[in-house]
Amino acid sequence: MKKLLFILIALSITITSCDKKENLNNNPLLAEYNTPFDVPPFEDIKLEHFVPAFEEAMKQHKAEIEVILTNTEEATFENTVEASFYAGELLGKVNTVFGTVNSVNISPEIQTLAQEIYPKLSTHVDEITLDPRYFERVKSVYENKEKFNLNAEQLFLLEDQYKEFIRNGADLAEDDKEILMKINQELSSLTLKFSQNVLAEVNNFKLVVTDEANLAGLPEGSIQAAAELAAKDSIEGWIFTINKPSMIPFIQYADNRELRKEIYDAYVNQGNHDDEFDNKEIFAKIINLRVKKAKLLGYESHAAIKTENRMAQNPERVFDLLNKLWDGILPKVKEERTALQEMINNEGSTFKLEPHDWFYYTEKLRKEKFDLDESEVRPYFELENVRNGIFAVAKKLYGISFTAIEGIPVPHPETTVYEVKEEDGTHLGLFFMDMHPRASKSGGAWCGSFQDHSFTKEGKEITPLVNNVCNFTRPTGDTPALLSADEVSTMFHEFGHGLDALFSEASYNASSIAWDFVELPSQIMEHWAFEPEVLKMYAMHYETGEVIPDELIKKLKASANFNQGFGKTEILAASLLDMKFHMMTEEDPNLQVMDFEKDYMNEIGLIPEIYSRYRPTYFRHMMGGYDAGYYSYTWASVLDNDAYDAFNETNIFDQATAKSFRDNVLAMNGIKDAMEMYVAFRGREPQIDALLKSLGIEK
C-alpha cells in the first residue's frame, strides 16, 4: 500500500444498507476499471460515488491491516512490512481520484466534501499508525533485520518506516496519542481551509479596465486575453486577474502605475483582508499546533522533525546554506535596485521605486541593456513547439518517445495524454498534461501520478501514470498559447519530475524521497531549456516557422543572469521565513503573522522594494508538504548545478552520463539514500562551486 501518512482521504459516513448496496454495485470507483492502462474512469465518476467508495475502501483497509496485526507468527518483513505496502490498494485508488478532482476540477460541492473527509482521514491514519500492535511488529522486524536477508530496497524502506513511526508518535503514551490525534485532525482541517481561501482570493479579484488608454504599454496578446475574459463575464472592457499569466505581463508592461499597484497589491495581500477568506488566524493556529506537536513528540521544533530524514539532517545546516547565499546575493539585488532607481530618475520622475515598479522597470532596463523585449521572444515559444522540444530532449538523452493517444479517460477535457516507450518499443508509462489556468483549478504547477511504478504481490509490473499540471498562458483568438521564458523554464521543470516518476524502479508503492532531494530531477531539466542547441530544436516562430535567430539566442544568453539578484532574493526570503516560523519552540497565542514576517524580513535585511516570494497568508507550499522545506529548491540548486556540470564535462547530450543519471538517481529515487544515489552518479559528494559561479558569488 502507499505509506499511511501519504494517504490523504478517508471517510466513514452512515448510509442506509439499501442505498449503500446499490451505490456499491454501481460505483465505478469500486469496480475493475477496465480502461486502457488502468487509468481511472474519470468521466464515469460522479460526486455521489465518493462517500460509499471511501466507506468501503476504509473498511477493506482496516480489515487488511487487522490481518497483519493479529498474525500469530513471528513478525517478518514479508508478513508485516511488505504486507502493509500491499494493503489499502482500494483506498489509495479512491484517494488518487478524489485528490485529482479536488485540484483540477474544483467545485463548491467537492470543497464541502473535502472539509468533511480530511479530518476523518487524519483519524483513520492515526488509528492505524498509533496502534501499539503495529509498531511492535515493525519494531521487531527492524531489530531482527539481519536475519531476513533483505535486499537494499527492502532494508532502506524498513529503516525508513521504523523511523517514520517514531516521528509520528508510535512510541507515545496512550494519553499523548489521543492528544496527537486531535492535533492532526485540526491541522488537516486548517490546512485545507487555508488553501481553499487562497483559491477564492484568486478567483474573486478582477481588475476591470474600461478606458483603453489604461492599456498603454501592454502586449497585444495580453490585451486580447483580457478582452476574452471580460466577454466571458459579459463585461464591457478588459479583465486582468492575479493568475500569473494575466498578472505578470500587466506589471511588466502596463504604463499606468496606479493600476500596476492595484493588481500587485492584490497578489501580495491574498488572504490578508480581514474578511471570510482571511488566513492570518488560520496560519497562526497551524504554526502553534505544529509547535505543540513537535514538543509532544520530543523535538525542539517542527523544523527539527522535518529535516531529520532529509539530506540537511537538521535546521542548522539549512540556515548555513541559506545565510551564505543570502550574504552573497543581497549586494547584487541592491545594485539592481540602484539601476532601476536611476532609470526612474533619468525619465524625470521623482517617485521612489516600490515593489509594484520592479517588474516594469526591470523590463525596460532589459530592453535598454540587451535590446531584448520578452514580447520579442514569446512568438518563438509556442506551447506545442516547446512540448515537442522537451520530448526531443528526452529522446536524445534517454532514447524514449512520446506519442499522443486518444480514448484515454482524463480528469478534465483540456488534458492531453501521451504514451511513453523505451527505445526498443517497450511501454514505459503514460504522461498526462493539463496546461492552462481556470477557475476550477488550483494555481501553480505540479507533477503527480494516478499510479506509481511498483509490482503486485503476484509479481505483475505496474507502470506509472504521470500527471503534469501547469497554469500557462492560454491561446487567444487565432493566436496559439505563446509562453514566456519563465513558463518555458517551468515546463521543463515539471517535465523533470515526470521523468523521475516514469523511470522509477520501485518494487513497492511506498517510496521515501528526501524532500530536499526531490527537486534535483526537475531543476536539472531547466538547464537544457535555453541551451542554443536545444533552442534550435523547438523555438520556431509560430507564424513563419522560422527557427529562433542566432542574434536573439545571443541576447537571451547575455541576459540570462539579468535580475537574478531579485529572483534569488525572493526565493531565499521565503525559504528563511518558512524556517523561522518553524523554528519556534514555544506556542504564541498572540502570534501576529504579518508582524512576525515584517520583523524578520527587517532583521535579515530584505530591502523594502521586494517582498518574499510567498507571504504567510498565501504560502501554500507550507500547507502542502514544503513546511520547513521550501529551502529544498535552494538545496537542490547545489545538486542540479553540480550534476549538470557532469554533462558539460562531456556534452549536454552525452548518453553515458544520461544513463548514469537515470540508473543511479531517477530509477533509485525514493528507494535508496539520497547521498548514496548522488555519489553513485557523480563519483563524489555535491559541491557548491557550480551554484556560486552561476550566481556570480565568490567563495
| Closest by Cα among 420, 438, 441 to 429 | 420
Name the amino acid, one letter, at 15: I
Phi then psi dihedrals of residue 257, to 5 deg: -65, -40
So where are the chain's domains? Answer: 4-171, 205-268, 378-558
Provide the grid cell at 251. Answer: 506589471
Average pLDDT rounded to a whole number, residues 194-207: 95
Output the CA torsion sign for 666, 671, 677, 678.
positive
Contact call for residues 207 and 462 (beta carbons, < 8 A): no
Percent helix, strand, coil in the chain, to 5, is 60, 5, 35
Instruction: Give the burial class of 544: count Cβ atoms within 10 A of its Cβ; 0-12 exposed, 13-18 middle, 19 or more buried.
Output: exposed
Residue 512 has pLDDT above 90, yes or no: no
Q: List, for residues 73-109, the tens digit of each pLDDT value.
A: 999 999 999 999 999 999 999 999 999 999 999 999 9
pLDDT beyond 60 at 52: yes
pLDDT of the residue at 11: 30
Q: How far is CA 79 from CA 129, 217, 417, 636, in A?
A: 17, 67, 38, 37
Residue 24 has a pLDDT of: 67
**pLDDT tens string 141-153:** 999 999 999 999 9
Cell numbers at 695, concatenated: 550566481
CB atoms within 10 A of CB 173: 9
Reported as a single tens digit per residue, the pLDDT across 418-467 is 999 999 999 999 999 999 999 999 989 999 999 999 999 999 999 999 99
The amino acid sitting at 549 is P
**Distance, CA of 220 to CA of 375 (rounded, Å):** 9
Query: How far is residue 109's CA from residue 98's CA, in Å, rounded to a whole number?
Result: 12
Tell me: pLDDT of 546 over 70: yes
Residue 335 CB neighbour total at 10 angstroms: 11
Domains 4-171 and 378-558 share a fold: yes
- Coil, helix or strand at residue 64: helix
**Catalytic residue list contains 494:** yes
What are the tens digits of pLDDT across the range 274-303? Answer: 999 999 999 999 999 999 999 999 999 999
Residue 18 clears pLDDT 90, i.e. is over it: no
Residue 511 pLDDT exceeds 90: no
- Domain 378-558: which CATH class? mainly alpha
Q: What pLDDT does residue 23 have?
A: 54
**Does the pLDDT value for residue 8 go beyond 50?**
no
pLDDT, tens digit (0-9, with 9 covering 90-100), for 347-372? 999 999 999 999 999 999 999 999 99
pLDDT reported for residue 343: 97
Burial class (CB in 10 A: 0-12, 13-18, 19+), 169: buried
φ/ψ of residue 468, rounded to 5: -95, 125
- pLDDT for 177 equals 95
* pLDDT-above-90 percentage for the chain: 89
DSSP 578-639: HHHHHT--S--TT--HHHHHHHHHHHHT--TT---SS-GGG-GGGGTT-TTTTTHHHHHHHH
**pLDDT reading at 533 higher than 70:** yes
Mean pLDDT (the chain) is 93
Please tell me the predicted confidence (pLDDT) of residue 379.
96
Under CATH, what is the fold of the domain 4-171?
Answer: Neurolysin; domain 3 (1.10.1370)
Burial of 404 (0-12, 13-18, 19+ CB in 10 A): exposed
Quick: pLDDT tens for 203-251.
999 999 999 999 999 999 999 999 999 999 999 999 999 999 999 999 9
Going by C-alpha positions, the residue among 228, 138, 296 that lies closest to residue 241 is 228
Q: Which residue out of 64, 82, 336, 494 is catalytically annotated?
A: 494
**Whole-angstrom distance, CA of residue 515 vs CA of residue 518:** 5
- Cβ atoms of 310 and 631 within 8 Å: the answer is no
User: What are the helix (H) ranges across 347-484?
Assistant: 355-370, 374-377, 383-398
- 3-class secondary-structure state, position 238: strand
In this predicted model, what pLDDT tens digit does every residue of 582-626 receive, in sequence order? Answer: 999 999 999 999 999 999 999 999 999 999 999 999 999 999 889
Cα separation, 666 vs 661, whole angstroms: 7
